[in-house]
Amino acid sequence: MTNFGQVLFMKKLLRKFVPESIILLYHKTLAVLANVFYGFPSRRLKVIGVTGTNGKTTTCNLIWEILTEAGNKVGLTTSINFKIADKSWINRTKQGMQGRFRLQKLLREMVKAGCQYAVIETTSEGIKQYRHWGINYQTVVFTNLTPEHIESHGSFEKYKEAKGRLFAALKGQELYSRLLRHFAPRNDAKKVSVVNLDDEQAEYFVKFEADEKWGYGVKSEIRNPKSEKNFKNQISNFKKIIATDCKLLAQGSEFDLEYENQKYHFKTNLLGEFNIYNCLAAIAVGLLQGVEIKIIQQALEKMVGVPGRMEVIYDSKRDITVIVDYAHDPAALEKVYETILSVRGSGYLPSLASNSFASLSRGSLCSPEARPSSGKHPEPHSSIIAVLGAVGGGRDKAKRPKLGSLAAKYAKYVIITNEDPYDDDPAEIMNQVEVGVKSDLNRQINQNYWKILDRRKAIEKAVALAKPKEVIVLTGKGCEEVMAVRECLVPWDDRAVVRQVLGIA
């Protein structure tokens, strides 16, 4: 059995036979030991944590770019990559937030490399298992919240509460502050929270205590439908950055930023409205760290994209485009489809010669006539071929039909395939995704949707179906280089396989 298999086996054994209170004590004990063993390295760093359902990885990388552009040495740990100053490598662990000892080791290496900052993608599962314990977070960022990891947490409320614990830890670490003094010098920088004010769950996160509170959003969106007046009172003392005049363009996005009664123009190569929100979160962190607006603008313009996030592979011979994206939950998947379908074109989606919609004129991507209808059936101009699956291992079974339903709504053709089944039956996972696809009564097996277990053959089928100017959207794995199959991590890279199938370098 591989190390990965041993970990999975131990997790199952613990969940089956050990009370949850004992499991949590085990996790916290490991957290304490890891901090002590590595000497509480975060006390020598300015630590920025980013949490939320979607956007964490992109936001973390944007923050890294901004702080690095400002001349700082910055460490980074996300679900796809690690960086320590100018050294970077791929995350092949299948963990968004690293385990306690591995994470503390990374922080220690950042200190040794002379880093001033550490940017940590902080997941709800990691928080639940106390991987954040002992880390001296100075800034925490909330991106958004939609139902995810419900099997692990038990309910959406508990999932939200897990995210909230990161914010609670900003000002609630007195229990071990005396212990910390014995191992590392104190770092008494102010504690700052940064919240997406447009998210429906914002009201929950703005309540947590912090020395300074920041909020961000799009001018037309800031609201709270449940208690708007109370919400506005809660955020009245926030420092706010607001995006206005947002233009989702062929080459990326542009927007004006309102901050302290001034307007600043920003450009980014990142596509979609959701990436404007990611940019706003990163801009807020840059500003609160004293980075000049000009430097932040330069950093955002330089960043071409995040691997496996709306990553484009263009086949000039066939004149087709493949977009590889990590989207694996309904909210993220719908945003990917909407971003692609909202491109203004001549009745079809564009071919993409680079990691942007460079072949189009600089028209708005948000025109109403370009958006898909709210019904089940794709518009005639929909030239998406969706290739997707759903993760196994008992994770969020309820979302599987929803993923299929979204693919049926937005795509011309749907191909259901295998994706990280872990120890679940991949055929059964595919059947559950198919339930959602068949909610569109016009869908007929082997006519406008297919079930192909072999992911490579599924990609080959999509390429065979694609006509010039059409777009294959391959979701679920992004830039991951392994697939979790039973107790093994099998080498697999969607992007490499796509290039092999297309016969391009």
Q: What is the pLDDT of residue 342?
A: 74
Q: How far apart are the C-alpha atoms of 354 and 342, rounded to whole Å?
A: 18
- Amino acid letter, 82: F
- Helices and strands: H and E segment counts in the chain: 17, 19
Q: What is the pLDDT of residue 154?
A: 72
pLDDT grade for 373, boundaries at 50, 70 and 90: very low
DSSP state of 422: B
Q: How far apart are the C-alpha atoms of 46 and 479, rounded to whole Å?
A: 28
Contact 243, 256 (CB under 8 A): yes
Question: In terms of pLDDT, which residue wins out, 154 or 293?
Answer: 293
Mean pLDDT score across all residues of the chain: 85
Which position has the token pair 């093994």? 488
SS (H, E, C) 106-134: HHHHHHHCCCCEEEEECCHHHHHCCCCCC
- Exposed, middle or buried: residue 364 (CB in 10 Å: 0-12, 13-18, 19+)? middle
CB neighbours of residue 88 within 10 Å:
11
- Of 24-33, 375-384, 427-436, the least confident: 375-384
- Amino acid letter, 271: L
422: left (phi over 0), alpha (psi -120 to 50) or beta: left
Mean predicted confidence (pLDDT) in 429-450: 96
| pTM score | 0.84
Q: Read off the tokens for 339.
A: 């971003």
Q: What is the pLDDT of residue 93?
A: 86
pLDDT grade for 374, boundaries at 50, 70 and 90: very low
Can you tell me whether residue 424 is helix, strand or coil?
A: coil
Q: Is the confidence at residue 184, as pLDDT, over 60? A: no
Question: 234-251 pLDDT, tens per residue?
Answer: 777 889 999 999 988 767
- From residue 82, how far is each of 69, 227, 449, 459, 493 by CA, in Å? 17, 40, 38, 29, 18
Q: Is the confidence at residue 290, as pLDDT, over 80? A: yes
pLDDT grade for 14, boundaries at 50, 70 and 90: low
Which position has the token pair 């909610």? 439
Q: What is the pLDDT of residue 201?
A: 92
Q: What is the pLDDT of residue 395?
A: 76
- Exposed, middle or buried: residue 19 (CB in 10 Å: 0-12, 13-18, 19+)? exposed
pLDDT grade for 38, boundaries at 50, 70 and 90: very high
Q: Is the confidence at residue 23, as pLDDT, over 70? A: yes
In the chain, pLDDT over 90 holds for what percent of residues? 64
Q: Is the confidence at residue 372, as pLDDT, over 60? A: no
- Of 152-156, 173-177, 274-278, the least confident: 173-177
What does residue 23 show for φ and ψ, rounded to 5 degrees?
-60, -45
Does the 16-239 domain belong in CATH 3.40.1190.10?
Answer: yes
Which position has the token pair 């923050």? 63
List the domain boundaries for the chain.
16-239, 311-502
In the chain, pLDDT over 70 holds for what percent of residues? 82
Q: What is the pLDDT of residue 223?
A: 53
Contact 240, 220 (CB under 8 A): no
- Of 58-62, 159-163, 179-183, 245-249, the least confident: 179-183
Q: What is the pLDDT of residue 229?
A: 66
- Superfamily assignment of 311-502 in CATH? Mur ligase, C-terminal domain (3.90.190.20)
- Of 66-80, 174-188, 326-340, the least confident: 174-188
- Exposed, middle or buried: residue 384 (CB in 10 Å: 0-12, 13-18, 19+)? buried
Which position has the token pair 């493949």? 322
pLDDT grade for 467, boundaries at 50, 70 and 90: very high
Mean predicted confidence (pLDDT) in 470-476: 96
Can you tell me whether residue 48 is helix, strand or coil?
A: strand
Question: 334-363 pLDDT, tens per residue?
Answer: 999 998 887 544 333 444 433 333 332 222
Contact 78, 64 (CB under 8 A): no
pLDDT grade for 183, boundaries at 50, 70 and 90: low
Q: What is the pLDDT of residue 249?
A: 76
Mean predicted confidence (pLDDT) in 23-52: 93
Contact 209, 174 (CB under 8 A): no
Q: Is the confidence at residue 220, as pLDDT, over 60? A: no
Q: How far apart are the C-alpha atoms of 180 and 176, rounded to whole Å?
A: 6
